[in-house]
Amino acid sequence: MLARANRLTRGTDYKAVVRRGRRCAGAHTVTYVSRVETDGPARLGFIVSRQVGGAVVRNSVRRRLKALCYESLETIAPGNDIVIRALPTAASASFADLRADVEKCLARRPA
């Protein structure tokens, strides 16, 4: 599980990352990466809408994305805010497919 310091918690932070962040689209996710002025730890947030599925499906997709980001946390540069939005195809995607999407977009450097 991601530590509290590594989580985006406020709606204004989510909006700022989505509006100003660099966008990277995969087959199952869209990732927004924004560089923040502070040198604090990287913070991550997840958006899984009702289009993905019911509550059980949405929560399982969110948990899978969190697990993938926790594995990749050391490779993310400090001071980055990242929002990962799951697309409806994420519900039926395998863990390996989600990993490929997430790793591809996290490897890109923000503007």
* Average pLDDT, integer, range 32-52: 90
Q: How many angstroms separate the CA atoms of 109 and 3, rounded?
A: 23
Domain that holds residue 39: 4-107
- The conformational region for residue 65 under phi > 0 = left, psi -120 to 50 = alpha, else beta, is alpha
Question: In the structure encoding, which two tokens stand for residue 29, read together?
Answer: 């996710």
Identify the pLDDT of residue 75: 87
Q: Identify the weakest region by mean pLDDT among 20-29, 58-67, 77-86, 99-108.
A: 99-108
pLDDT (0 to 100) of residue 89: 95
**What is the number of domains present in the chain?**
1
CA distances, 58 to each of 9, 12, 22, 46, 78 (Å): 18, 22, 24, 11, 28
CATH of the domain at 43: 3.30.230.10
Q: Would you say residue 10 has pLDDT above 70?
A: yes
